[in-house]
A and B are shown apart, each in its own frame.
Chain A
Amino acid sequence: MAQYPKEIRVSQPDDLFEALVDAHENLTDAESRQMNSRLILLLANLVGDLDQVLAAINKARSSITAEQK
């Protein structure tokens, strides 16, 4: 399975964060959660390759479970 890359691909990190913040503006909590879920699906479709999406899923999940220990 693919490894999540160490390289930094985001060239404008502050622009990205601001865009994500703005995307939640004037949404209820429930709408924000739906927005996040839809965004994940849309980005996964952009990535396309399931192996790479799985690498990201594993990275996200393992970072949560590591904190539970």
Chain B
Amino acid sequence: MPKGYTHPKFIAPPAPKSGKDSTKVAIVGAGPVGLTVAIDLAQRGISVTLLDDDDTTSHGSRLICMSKRTLEIFDRIGIGKLLEEKGVIWNKGRLFFQDDEIYNFDLLPEPGHAWPAFINIQQYYVEDFLVQKAETTPGIELRWKHAVVGLEVHDEGASLGIETPDGAYKLDASYVIACDGAHSTIRKALNLPFVGRAFDDRFLITDVFMKANFPSERWFWFEPPFHDGQSALLHKQPDGVWRIDLQIAANADPEEEIKEDKVRGRIERMLGSDIPFEIEWISLYSFRCRRLEKFRHNNIFFAGDSAHQVSPFGARGGNGGVQDADNLAWKLAKVIKGEAPDNLLDSYEAERIPAADENIKNSSRSTDFMTPKSAAVKDLRDAVLALARQEPFARRMVNSGRLSVPARYESSPLITCDASTFNRGLLPGSAAVDAPILIDGKEDWLLKQIGQNFTIMIWGPTPPNIPTDILVIQIGPENDPSGLIKERYNMREGTTYLFRPDQHIAARTHQFNQEWLTAALARSAGRH
């Protein structure tokens, strides 16, 4: 059981007496992805029903590294402060090979961003904060202990078979978002296969509670003397909890490896005998890097682990899932409100499948680096590690996880190619990058200024005839005293960026004109 956290017990609402109910949007699974998409939709005025088969937050800390982009999304929906207060900020990583540290790196926090590169925090805290937010957001109906057990697809959406402690019922939904994880009931009901790779190697993932003086750093060992030549990872979380990942041989007996005494022995060899610790959570994984062929099936959408799975090195699973939610919510809200055609929803997978592939590629490569598949490849890997002691180029090749960065929707049908030549700045499709801004003379952040609908940011006066539902951020020396907006966005007189509701860049130009804006807005709303 966790040391500093008490799992809440949420109340299961009664099943509808008639045995039937209906909703516009049913979200299956109240994990980080389901809760995020529920809050995001509700904040855009769409009522949702969120179903979960449990009545509490995540057992075990599971995903722990929240990337900068995820933090920005969580801040947008209103739980940033809570994460900041509770989480552990880290920037430094150390890499060890056999007995020695071969090098260390700093994710070098560049000044002028509201959020750091990463915050570590247990998944149960993230879910807890999201539930608190969801409970106070109008338009979200949380149905704990309402387990989805069946699915019938029809022309107008789908009908979900639901079992609750006091009876079963059918819930008709115009749209279904499956956020129900790797063992998704919705995926199984539709009989959809995953495509990708399975890895034979197993990793023991444990959380231990201890009073240790290790710094807030990510430590990764290749072939340490304390762990039979396999790799190991140590990472700090709040409440004196530490994440320890230990690679286990592919032929090890999983039943045996998960026994507490066995795990305890491994951790003692790692930490030394003088550090007392308690084991909070043990899990044994073999990794799969795979995804569904399509993330949209009529009005059913898959987001997070139900759509794609990766190995944990690089923190690309949970962070990728939150970005799925971020991508889908504004599109679905626009389509339901009649502000955009249905094919805006096709762009969800047009954007998120390449993002998933990028995550799968990176996490597969990291896993391959940690678990060489032949003697020749192990020689090559060890040569990289040995040369990394001295050679900068070899350090670049050491792969203990390529940390999650936001996807750029490069080939998306919603993105407009540059209308003029930019030498620098942010490419269309990228997530907006933060910078300080002065609002009424007070220090604030650029990302906080981007609105719920489309927003344009322009250097210079506001042009006439901007549609009234478009927010305008005017930038000039008076509100960009650090010059970081000018620099990061390569701004000059007339430079304009069009931000989407998910803060990604839809289009940019050095010379604003009305036709450019009209065309870019239409394209970005799926009218192309």
- Residues of A at the B interface (CB closer than 8 Å) are 4, 6-10, 13-14, 16-18, 20-21, 24, 27, 29, 32-33, 35-36, 59, 63, 67
Contact = CB atoms under 8 A, between A and B. Distances in A.
Give the secondary structure class of A's interface. helix
B397 A9 contact: no
Interface residues of B, number: 22
Contacts of B402: 14
Given A17-B369, A20-B380, A63 B397 contact: no
Given A10-B393, A17-B380, 16 more contacts: A4-B391, A10-B397, A13-B393, A14-B365, A14-B399, A21-B380, A24-B376, A24-B377, A24-B380, A27-B376, A29-B376, A32-B375, A32-B376, A63-B386, A63-B389, A67-B386
B393 A21 contact: no
B6 interface: no
B198 interface: no
B387 A63 contact: yes
Given A21-B377, A29-B375, A32-B375, A14 B386 contact: no
Q: Which of B375, B376, B389, B392 has the most CB of A within 10 A?
A: B376
A6 B392 CA distance: 7
B368 A21 contact: yes
A18 B396 contact: no
Nearest to A16: B397
B390 interface: yes
A14 B373 CA distance: 17
A62 to B, nearest CB: 9
Nearest to B386: A63
B392 A17 contact: no
User: Which 9 A-B pairs rank lowest in CB-CB distance, beginning with the nearest?
Assistant: A32-B376, A13-B396, A24-B376, A13-B397, A8-B393, A17-B397, A8-B392, A21-B377, A10-B393
A33 B375 CA distance: 10
B384 interface: yes
B404 to A, nearest CB: 15
B318 to A, nearest CB: 22
A4 B339 CA distance: 61
Interface string B29-62: 0000000000000000000000000000000000
B396 A8 contact: yes
